[in-house]
Structure 1
Amino acid sequence: MSLNRDGAARLQAHWWQDAPGAGSALLRPLAWLYGLLARRAAAAGRRQARRPADRPVLVVGNLIVGGAGKTPTTLALIDTLRQAGWRPGVVSRGYGRQVQALVHVGPDTPVSEAGDEPLLIHRRTGVPVVVSRDRVAAGEALCERHPEVDLIVADDGLQHHRLARDVQVLVFDARGVGNGLLLPAGPLREPLPTRLPPHTLVLYNADAPSTPLPGACALRQLGGVQTLDEWWAARAAGAPRAARPVSDLRGRRLLAVAGIGEPERFFRMLEAHGLQVDRLPLPDHARLSPLPWPAGTPEVVLTEKDAVKLAPGAVPSGTRVWVATLDFALPPGFTDALLGALAEARGRLSHCH
């Protein structure tokens, strides 16, 4: 089913109500059919599930369609895991890319081949990243080329049931599960469980839990701003993110652009730093070619997920583009539970071999 932007916006307005409305009720039969097909596909995937290699597998995903903060979570997890002595590698579908082949992501891989999120993960962390619709094949390719990898992190792999996993992290933002219905009547890819499955942790990308599931709340805040040229130069050099305070942009005429799961949250974060912004929300994973803002726009501020799709040479000389970096801190209790679960998984695998 294809929807134009206005139609999609109206549909999502029904999704994010606290309780199902009349519009959602009309779609319940399709949601029931979706649920039936999804359960059958999940059961078939679990019957065929296999491990790509003799390494633990950590899956990061969410239950809703669209973004809830998986990529910032994955970036924070990678930093935490490396500090704890793990050598992670990442597999991902690479949503929005324009090729079907398995791709080993490098710093110069075009976003059309890598996808925006995998390319951002690789550029920010430097860890090996492989993209493929088949995450098992991606994991095998990852470990074959990078035998030093001792942990596979599957970005957005929750519904890819053919991939055997040891630990999974469910990510929710402040919207929770919306009206609680399955697609297309609501935002859910699968029902919210009444209790946590084994070896599952919940992380809320929000100030407070937004579902009944027990979990920890991450601290998310803007870390600073860089010009687009500065941001790309830091990524190419693998240098620390030297950024100036967001407050440096106060008093400027700014157009805020966001092609993420919840653009409004980005806009509110900018305003919380005293910036006055005009809003330009875009669909999640939106392409930036051609440029989505009017010619002659003096200054633009956007997310790192959008910046990775925008080479500095693509911006006319009359426009300055700022990249707002994001700091995402995992709570200590969550980190301890995660590292403990992964240590147990590594112990189980070592006994099997």
Structure 2
Amino acid sequence: MKPCSVLVVDDSRTMRSLIAATLAADPEITVVGEASDAFEAREAIKQLSPDVVTLDIEMPKMNGLDFLERIMRLRPTPVIIISSLTERGTETSIRALEIGAVDCIAKPSARNRDSLDDLGSRVKAAASARLPRGAATARRSIEQGAVGGSYLSDGRVVAIGASMGGVEALCSLLGRFPENCPPTLVTQHMPAMFTKSFADRLDRLCRPKVTEAVDGAALIPGNVYIAPGGWKHMLVAGSDRTRVRLQEGELVSGHRPSVDALFQSVARTLGSRAIGVILTGMGRDGAQGLLSMRQSGAETIGQDEATSLVYGMPRAAFENGSVGAQLPLGGIAERIMTMTNKTRIR
């Protein structure tokens, strides 16, 4: 198999060397070049045609967002953002994912020394991503408005899992939710300090109230709860009044928070009073949990291959029999609202 070729773009020589050395340790990856700014990177892309570009956001001469927009418009290439964990940096990184970056990784720091540990696997997954793509999808969903018709939640809870490509997919999906949508829990694989910025941005874009989940929060219609990245799993607990539980624990299916952990808790707690949805992402996280949900009587939906940036998690769920309905991204919101609409004719 031909090695995956990567161009590393960062204005710090030290960071470029660290990223290149990390990637060079994988025999299936070749670092074909480095660039310190967008203009060097533009020429390198023309000459080298890399399979993947790793890109810093805050650079001299032209910032990473402007350069990313040009890449997506003129020469669509899988881009992984490697960003500092500052408030400005995280918000900009979320915007980059909406524009078309396939993944976002935190730069190593004293608090996050191992952030590049799985860079190789993520680069290889990015190389297989479906392009071209861009920011228009999310904006178009918001402009089109929520799923039409009279809607009143029937009390069921929606649980959603996503990974690589999930930011754009969730913007598109949640952008179609009405203001009084079912209580919705989302586990999106994302660095710890990115989830608050992501929730805030979704809250500005979408009609429901979107927040980073807090322990003990009651599940209320019109609210979407984003699992905090990093250290705890987001679960549900309770019988009469279901609540969010943030629980410390080991990695589940290689992740914390884990989609499998969320789905398993929903299966145990809610059974048929839930809808499970698995979206684009690499790996298998969520497949076993979605199977448990389906076996407990819940309706389950998987994103189809044609609209998935990375058809990894949805494929694993489809192949193990946990997906009741496989749909293109654009049809999932309407299916959820149809399933959970108390006013529909049965």
TM-score with structure 1 length normalisation? 0.33
Greater RCO between the two (CA within 8 Å, min separation 6)?
1
